[in-house]
Every structure is written in structure tokens, then in C-alpha cells.
Structure 1
Amino acid sequence: MKGGVIVNVERIARKKISESIEEQIEGMIASGQFKPGEKLPSVRELCTLFGVGRSSVRDAITALKGKGIVDVKQGEGTFICQFDSSRMFQYTMLLPSEEDVRELFQVRKMLEPGIAEMAAKNRSPEDLKKLKLALSKTFENDWEADYHFHQVIVHAAGNKMLTQFIQFISTKMQKAMIDFYQYIQPHEAFLKEIASHHYHIYESIKQSNSKDAYIHMLNHLELVENILQTSLARIQR
């Protein structure tokens, strides 16, 4: 819990519990849910948040401290250190598997083209302004701007249940985007192609062309998945 607001998290599977907690906290920091200098919830609150035991939370905090991501002050609590979010990728030892990526994009391809289609039908003038601003920021080639662009589309679709479901898988989406942008940063051709995809998605929603919105989003997700799978295959050789 942060400032009385419940943070969206995923319940933790049994295996590698502390590592899963560690990854989720890293994702929250990278996404800005927790900011440098802020205090993390107490061990007891984190146990409740993740539905796990104290030892798993303590092990995760110890690992984060070892990475220099948090600072544990005796009697005061655990605080987020000042850091560059790109460093966190270098610290993350567990790369997603090809199966993880495939399953995530199976879900995304089932949901997001339909969400883009709904956004083209339901978007308001205010939604369109927000989407245009989000689009402009994606040209900075930053994973957070890309993530925000997709979230604005979800909001523009106007379905609260879909919004909640996307929030449920948001940690996995953020991690995939961090990995993706780490790989494509040196590849100008990929960056231009992604920018072109975002532009066509925006234009189809702007023109209320639901069919094109669906197709452009599906093509975009298939491209991103293929690039991620290719990068993972090269790393694992």
C-alpha cells in the first residue's frame, strides 16, 4: 500500500518466490510507482500485498540492497536509491524465456487489437489529445513512453474491466518493454519501424477506423514479439 492506495501487483507463484518479489518491486520502481527517495511499504505490508511470508520478502529486499536499488536504514525502513533505470536491466539476471514471451504476446494479441478497435469507436476528443501527446513522446524511443501510449489506448476504449485486466498483466508488459528497448536502441531501422507502427495506430483511432486500428495493432504486436524472440535466441546461443 502506498499513500493509502493499493498498488496493482501479481500474486506470487510458489517457485522462486523471493526472486519474483524482487522482479515485481523492480518493475514498480521502473514504472514510477515507487520513486527514488521514497520509503517502501513495511515487510508486513509487502507480505500482505504479495500474499507471501516474511522470509521471502526479506530475501528479496536483501537482493535489491545488494544491487544498490534500495537502502535499508535500521529502525527507519527501506528506501529507494537514486539510480538510472537502465542500470536495473543490467542487474536483472533472469531473462524472460521464449515461452514467457510467447505466452505474454498470445494474451496481448488476443486483447490489444480488440482494444484498439474499441478505442477507434469510443475515443473522446480528450482521449485523442492524450493519445497524440503520448505518441509524440514515443519518438524519444523510451520504453515508458511506449507503455504509456498503449495504456492511453486502453483508457480510450472505455471498458473498465479491460483496463483492470491490462493492469493485472502490466508488470509483465513493462518487463518485456524494458527488454525490448534495450535490444532495439542500437538498431535505427527497428526504431523507425516501431515509430511508424505507433503513428498508424494513432491515425486509425483518430479517423475512427476500427478495422485498421485492429490490423495495425496486431501487426505491431507481431513485429515486437518477433524482434524479442530473435534477440533472446541470439543471447541464449
Structure 2
Amino acid sequence: MICDQGLKPGDALPSQRELVTLLQASRPSVREGVSMLEMLGIIRVEGRRGLFVANGDGQRPIDFWPFHKGYDLREVYQFRIGFEPDALALAFSRLTSDALQRLRHHAEALMIAARQGNAVVAAEQDTAFHDVIFEYCGNRIFLDIRSHLSKAMKDSQWVPMVIIERVGDTAREHLAIVDALEAGNCADACAALRDHIHAAALRCDLHLT
């Protein structure tokens, strides 16, 4: 709608209730879509006033962090940098050729989205990439923890994409993980995933120790 109608920063958008009808979508789906667009700096939500096209110029990714359940962005990255490589190590021996193909597909699609400047598709492909890792980790406790923290974890993946020019870096980091997995090197793959999370934090001006 924003692209097709040439809407500008400050222009009003339909309310979430109106979007449910217009898109013939469920309320949770609309809320998720609105949350993604807000996190990517494409729209802003103003209390009772409604939805508006955002102007993200001059704002940092961390400015869009909504402090889920009191967690700040640094805490989420500190958690992810230990948690996700462990999940990948568990998944390593379970990854089938189809799973590796899916990971490469998502990483390459992310690169294409970065070149096109499409933050929404980039966010979708980024999420799908990380989903595959947990799909194959085979540990129900890991899955339960991720499910409990899914909103905070996904938003921490998306918020660096406010700087669309840096999304290509994310894609290259994903490809490095896939390269190591395809080479059969678990240690290098886990190290590449840690490097990716560390770099994502840096894109948000956060230096992890």
C-alpha cells in the first residue's frame, strides 16, 4: 500500500481493525505484520491515533527496540550469542541435504532482498533461516525457551535492518554459516553464527563482551 500509493512519511494508514477486513486476515496476523513494519522503521504506531508512514532518517536501530518484557536489546543479544550456536551444534548431525538447501535458499533470498532494498522480504528470509536451525536441533527445552522468547529474538533479528544498506552484511554472514555446514565443519559454523550475532549487535551500536 505504501509503495503502490506512493505514501510519504506522516501519511495515515488504515487502522489494524480496518486492515483485518481489507486483507481478510486474522487479528494476530495483522498485529504481527504491523509489529514487523514498526520494527523495520517503515511505519510508526501512535497510541490511539493509529498507524502512519514513518520517517526513519537519522534514527538508530536501537531507537526502534520496544523493551519486550523489560529485556533491553543488549541482554537479548548476550543470550542469543550463547544459545543459538549451541542449538546449531545440536542440529549439526541432524541437518539433511534438504535442510542445507533450505538454509542456502534463505541466505541467497536474503541477499537478493538486500540488493533490492526490500526490508520486509529480508526480515522474512532472516527469520526462516534461523527457524531451520531450531527445527533440527532436536531438543524440546531449547524449542520451549525459543518459543517463550520468540518475539524478543525475532525483533532483535529485524531491528538492525532499519539500516537497509547493511542487510547485505547479514546475508553474507548467513552464507558463511551455510558454507561451513556444507563443508562439514560444526565448529566453524557455530563460530560463524556467533560472529553473525556479534555483528548484528554492532549494527545496533552494541559491543558485546
* Pair 1:165 & 2:145 matched: yes
Letter in 1 for 2:167: L
State the superposition RMSD in angstroms.
Answer: 3.2
Cα distance in 1 for partners of 2:30, 2:91 equals 38
Aligned to 1:91: 44
SS of equivalent residue, structure 1 residue 91: strand
Q: How does 1:69-148 map to 2 (within 5 A)?
A: 69-71=16-18, 85=34, 87-89=37-39, 90-92=43-45, 95-96=64-65, 100-139=72-111, 140-141=113-114, 142-148=122-128
Which of the residues 124, 129, 132 maps onto 1:152? 132
Does the 8 Å contact 2:104/2:175 carry over to 1? Answer: no
Cα distance in 1 for partners of 2:104, 2:182 equals 9
Going from structure 1 to structure 2, the CA distance change for 1:204 and 1:118 (only over 3 Å counts) comes to farther
Aligned length: 157
Q: How does 1:29-108 map to 2 (within 5 A)?
A: 68-71=15-18, 85=34, 87-89=37-39, 90-92=43-45, 95-96=64-65, 100-108=72-80
Cα distance in 2 for partners of 1:87, 1:201 equals 27
Q: CA deviation at 1:136?
A: 2.4
Letter in 2 for 1:95: F
Does the 8 Å contact 2:157/2:200 carry over to 1? Answer: no
User: What is the TM-score of this pair, normalised by structure 2?
Assistant: 0.63
Aligned to 1:204: 180
Structure 1 stretches of at least 4 aligned residues deviating more than 4 Å after TM superposition: 78-82, 84-87
Cα distance in 2 for partners of 1:192, 1:135 equals 10
Going from structure 1 to structure 2, the CA distance change for 1:179 and 1:67 (only over 3 Å counts) comes to farther
Q: CA deviation at 1:105?
A: 0.8
Going from structure 1 to structure 2, the CA distance change for 1:156 and 1:87 (only over 3 Å counts) comes to closer
Question: Mind listing any 5+ residue stretches in structure 2 that lack a counterpart?
Answer: 1-12, 47-62, 115-121
Letter in 2 for 1:88: E
Does the 8 Å contact 1:132/1:202 carry over to 2? Answer: yes
Going from structure 1 to structure 2, the CA distance change for 1:159 and 1:81 (only over 3 Å counts) comes to closer
Cα distance in 1 for partners of 2:15, 2:189 equals 42
Identity of aligned pairs, percent?
A: 19
Question: Mind listing any 5+ residue stretches in structure 1 that lack a counterpart?
Answer: 1-65, 231-237
Going from structure 1 to structure 2, the CA distance change for 1:92 and 1:225 (only over 3 Å counts) comes to farther
Larger Rg, first or second structure (1 or 2): 1
Aligned to 1:46: none
Q: CA deviation at 1:81?
A: 6.4
Q: CA deviation at 1:67?
A: 7.2
Does the 8 Å contact 1:108/1:221 carry over to 2? Answer: yes
Going from structure 1 to structure 2, the CA distance change for 1:107 and 1:81 (only over 3 Å counts) comes to closer
User: What is the TM-score of this pair, normalised by structure 1?
Assistant: 0.56
Aligned to 1:60: none
Letter in 1 for 2:65: P
